[in-house]
Amino acid sequence: MIIPAIDLIDGQVVRLYQGDYEQQTRYQDSPLEVVHRYADAGATWLHIVDLTGAKEPEKRQLQLISELAASKRMQFQAGGGIRSEDDLSQLLEAGVSRVVIGSLAVKEPELVKGWLKKYGAEKIVLALDVNIDSQGRQCIATHGWQQDSGVELAPLLTDFMQAGAKHVLCTDIACDGTLQGPNNTLYQELKTQFPDVIWQASGGIGGLEHIRQLKSSNVDSVILGRALLEGKFDLREAISLWGQD
């Protein structure tokens, strides 16, 4: 599945370069205009990152997210700085179908595993974003990618799968925002190692050829952000390409 994405700061659509708030691009279209455009192109899901809420939880953009969900144009998954069960439940009440949880899954795994059991695997996406070191260790970054947790991806995910985790969004941080291509090798390895996980690949896609390459990794879904906002290719073409055998 092709899943377009929008990042939101103070009600505006933006993109950050490798998670850096100081390197952001703002786009003119309103979030609702983007929702309608992507839905018209055939998208059935939208990935929302609330960057304001990630930085300042008390300023979470719940009203805006509610308005987007109320459009009923597609289903939504949303995240950004989820720190408590209240954060999780508020997003579900706002109308999103799945809540994306990142740093907290590393810092307080038992808490998040409890939520998986309470709300069900279909309501939660684990965002396990990695820095790959010179020895090939896949260590998860937290706090908006500003900190390396030292926790490796595979053992953490093995633990979460035993608690019922199903959806995982994985970004190779070195690729994000570059448009230079995704880390196909990473996704091939992860899909082989964890075939029962529904994988969402994110980061680095700049053209249709990158999507074509990703298909060979057998990853389940692809998140598209900057490339769509900057018109690198048409969303309809991407959806059509992904659907081809």
The residues annotated as belonging to the active site are 7, 129
**How is the chain split among helix, strand and coil, in percent rounded to 5?**
40, 30, 30
Residue type, 212: R
CA-wise closest residue to 82 among 64, 97, 101: 101
Alpha-carbon distance of 245 to 243, in angstroms, equals: 7
Both tokens of 238, joined, read 């991407």
CA-wise closest residue to 232 among 63, 4, 32: 4
CA-wise closest residue to 35 among 66, 9, 80: 66
